[in-house]
Structure 1
Amino acid sequence: MSVLPRTPPRVARRGRAVPVGGVLLFAVGGTAATIAVVWWVAAHTGSAWSPGGDLAVYRDAAQAVRAGGSPYQVDRDGYGFVYPPFAALVLTPLAVVGPLAGYAIWTVLSTLAVPAVVWLLVDHLTPAGDHRRPTLLAVGTLAALPLSPIAGTLLLGNVNIVLLALVLVDLLRVRGPQQGILLGVAAGIKLTPLVFVVHLLLTGRIRAGVTALASFVGTVGVGALVLPADSVTFWAGVLDSSRTRPPGEEAYGGSIRGAVLHLLPEAAHGVWLPVSVLAAAAGLAVAVWASRRHEELTAILACAVTGLLVSPVTWYAHWVWSVPVLALLVARTWRRPAHRRWPAGLLWLVFALPLPWWVGYVLGWAPLTEPAWMMPVDLLYTVTAVALLVLAAVWLRRTAPAARGCPR
């Protein structure tokens, strides 16, 4: 079933043909421009957290592995390697090339993953053969690139966009016994996708859930086989969230824990965990509800937002899930009059909010320090996550179930 309205055959025949090649070239041009901007920013700033900061940590960890050392002894301005040992093995090619070449290759890979994600969403939300697909791909890509989670991930050199693509391919495109493999691999690189394994099991997709778990366990096994001592170090401290950030930055992050640490620092440890448990139960209930209504993308996004809320650490760059959230919201409001499509525009502004500060920072015009704007933005993201889950529940309650076999 299509979410975006179908164009009547008569209109499609009489309308002007969409210049597919030109539209795709436009999307590729925007992507290339983004790569150029990221490289320019990297060359003109010296911030420890912005130009390739995360990628530098990955590269240091990969070099440590190649040299026979531990990736968990890496320290770059207080930031260390916090991913499973399997991730360190996957990232070892970064140690072979120089820092500039590594940053260039990684930026190109991550940037090209953006139109790949947009295409997955366009393919899921529109009927096959819809002549607007190339236009939607171009517009969606150009709308996604300026979002702070996307731009921030590209600037930092983080792995978020690549993981987003792996999870969406697995949950939206893969069917049969192979479903779950990519999800397990993604979780082996970064633990946060494990929330989707819980979702698969709760919605009765036992085979896919077990496959994902087996794939994840396989990555753990590979890490333990190749890096046994480092595996013990990582898994023994897996619940220690303090290692994910330098001292003094505990209150950063858009999760419930980050919000509580910011607003109630004295009572944080007795509040954030029970509140997070309740949020996890409520969010997963919405995801299961959506799945049973055959609204698969809604279910996936409810699960993703729940994971962002309850994770001990959720940086703004983790909100790359804003791209499919916006795509679904646009699809839901497509039939409305133009003046009633403002929710998608407002949400786009929320996720693009820090971008003006970045521009000012790069040009030396920023009037605010990073902490002065980062904590309010983190709180805004926490409130947005709660609001999205509430709105999803309201929408599910007010609409008729989708037809079986036609997930949205």
Structure 2
Amino acid sequence: MDGTLTVGDLERLRKDFSASPVYRLAQNAVTRVSVDDVAISRDLVSSIDHSVSTTLDDWKVTNQERSGRCWLFAGLNLLRVGVMRKTGLKDFEFSQNYAMFWDKLERANYLLEAIIETANRDLDDRTVAFLLESAASDGGQWNMFAALVAKHGLVPKGYMPETQSSSNTARMNSVRRYQLHQGARTVRAATAQGPAAARAAKADIMQVVYRILCIHLGTPPERFDWQWTDKDKKFHRDGVLTPQEFAAAYVDLPVSDYVCLVNDPRPSSPIGRTFTVEYLGNVIGGPPVIYLNVDMQVIKDVAAATIQGGEPVWFGCDVGKMMSNDYAFWDAELYDLPAVYDTAFGLDKAARLAYHETAMTHAMLFTGVDVLDGVTRRWRVENSWGSDRGKDGFYTMNDSWFGQYVFEIAARKSALPAGLRGALDAEPIVLPAWDPMGALAR
């Protein structure tokens, strides 16, 4: 009984499959077309309704192209609403390239500081190995976005437009990853001579990283001449501004006052407690990534009230589950996979997290909600995959999907129920660096 698959085992597997006409029919179908086309629920498709009782968006979607910048796009899409209102522009985008430049520079510094801090550990230590494996990620979290805005400001897209590498980050990231791995070796060796020697080595590496980013993304502007013509053809001029001055003048939301509400139903994650993830961040000295774990109904109520009050909502989810680009639709029962495969798909949300079947993989923006008699039914979503996917780039999410696959929203602290605000002051539970609650940054 050594666990080897024997000839007899293989013969039983073959006979079991061949004996079922249902299995053979499924094979005939799935070998010719996508399993999603076979499993999709016709009843759900026939009842899709994209209308919602509150809709905020009246603009075009953005496109992150072949990059993992969803969290930046969602954050900038949230903030651009106020700019359009203030300036009278029909459409406006911040430079996503500018925000990514500073994130990647700050992230390199953050990583190398973590390497200095863990230099006394073996390379196969799980935390050290995780830091090295995630050295060149595109992803991020709300608090990381807020830290970038606070420190580096923002610029309109035209003053630092997209480049080939900002739209397709793989090759640039491979070069950065090599240099950061090489730099990690140098910094770890230098720590033997003390902190000053380690940070001197880090400074040399940061010079290389800055050079790489400028070559791939362009050099960020220190100031720019801001003028525009609004949708009524009226010309405006605001003079020469720094990115920090531009953000202070045109961002009308208190970004630093937002908190992250998450729904983590694992037994190890108490409701009403704050959490953080070790080594999850970008700006040294910036606000830490803090989550407040709450019931899903709290997240739904806060999100719906925020949208009905005229403000979109940034959120993080496991985007690829039970979704259809063709129908621009998410529903928890969209695909009847148990019928196709004749087996259970029975993991609940907590078990999917614990067994690495789900995690936050994408950030987007809620721009609408349908509420009937005080109960949310579906949600309108602004994605950042361009207008060719979904319904002109927008999607509809049924409430069933929200409960299963949405993990996080960013909300004003004042939007929280009074009983939860005090919980934000508690010392957060520290989750390990590899915990799935940090997955959006990876």
> TM-score, normalised to structure 2's length?
0.27
Larger relative CO (CA 8 A, sep 6+): 1 or 2?
2
Which one has the bigger strand percentage?
A: 2
Which one has the bigger helix percentage?
A: 1
Largest Rg, 1 or 2: 2
> TM-score, normalised to structure 1's length?
0.28
